Chains A and B, each alone.
Chain A
Amino acid sequence: MHFIKGRNVIHDFADTDENEQERVVRAIAGIDLDVKEGDFVAILGHNGSGKSTLARHLNALLKPTSGTLWVDGMNTAEEENKWKIRKGTGMVFQNPDNQIIANVVEEEVAFGPENIGVPTEEIWKRVEHALEAVGMMAYRYHSPNRLSGGQKQRIAIAGIVAMRPKCIVLDEPTAMLDPTGRREVLQTIRSLNQQEHVTVILITHHMDEVLYADQVFVMDDGKIVMQGTPKEVFSDVEQLKSYGLDVPQVTELAYELEQCGFPIKKGILRIEELEEELAALYQSGFRIPKSK
Chain B
Amino acid sequence: MKNITIGQYYPTDSVIHRLDPRVKLFGTIVFLVSLFLTDHYLGYAVITVCLAAVLKLSKVPFKMLLKGLRGILILLLFSVVFNIFLVPGRELVHIWFLSITAEGIRRAIFLGIRLVYLVIGTSLMTLTTTPTDLADGLEKALRPLNKLHIPVHDITMMMSIALRFIPILMEETDKIMMAQKARGADFETGGLLKRAKALIPLFVPLFVSAIRRAIDLANAMETRCYQGGEGRTKMHPLCYQKRDKRTYCIYAGYLIAIFGINRILVAFQILPFLFA
Contact = CB atoms under 8 A, between A and B. Distances in A.
Interface of A: 56, 59, 61, 83, 86-87, 90-91, 93, 95, 97-104, 106-107, 110-120, 123-124, 127, 144-145, 156, 159-160, 163
Contacts of B236: 107
Interface of B: 130-132, 160-161, 163-164, 167-168, 212-213, 216-217, 219-227, 231-237
Contacts of B167: 145
Contacts of B222: 61, 86
Given A102-B164, A107-B132, A91 B223 contact: yes
Most buried by B among A112, A115, A163: A115
B223 A90 contact: yes
Contacts of B226: 111, 115
A106 B235 contact: yes
Contacts of B232: 114-115, 117
B213 A98 contact: yes
Chain B: interface secondary structure?
Answer: helix
Nearest to A83: B225
B225 A98 contact: no
12 contacts: A61-B223, A83-B227, A90-B223, A93-B219, A97-B168, A99-B220, A101-B220, A103-B132, A103-B160, A106-B235, A107-B236, A159-B224
B210 to A, nearest CB: 10
Contacts of A106: 235
A104 B235 CA distance: 12
Closest 6 CB pairs of A and B: A99-B220, A98-B216, A110-B235, A112-B224, A91-B223, A115-B225
B224 A86 contact: yes
Given A86-B222, A90-B223, A103-B131, A117 B164 contact: no
Nearest to B160: A103
A103 B220 contact: no
A153 to B, nearest CB: 12
A203 B164 CA distance: 28
Given A83-B227, A120-B235, A145-B167, 9 more contacts: A59-B223, A61-B223, A95-B216, A99-B217, A101-B217, A114-B234, A115-B224, A115-B227, A115-B232
A103 B163 contact: yes
Contacts of A61: 219, 222-223
Nearest to B235: A110
Contacts of A160: 224
Contacts of B168: 97, 145
Given A97-B168, A114-B235, A117-B233, A102 B160 contact: yes
A102 B226 CA distance: 13
Given A86-B223, A93-B219, A103 B164 contact: yes
B252 to A, nearest CB: 30
Contacts of A87: 225
B235 A123 contact: yes
Nearest to B214: A98
A86 B227 CA distance: 12
A49 B130 CA distance: 45
B220 A93 contact: yes
Given A115-B227, A123-B235, A145-B168, A102 B132 contact: yes
A102 B133 CA distance: 12
A75 B276 CA distance: 83
B164 A101 contact: yes
B225 A116 contact: yes
Contacts of A56: 219
A117 B213 CA distance: 26
B133 to A, nearest CB: 10
A105 to B, nearest CB: 12
A118 B233 contact: yes
Nearest to A94: B216
A156 B221 CA distance: 11
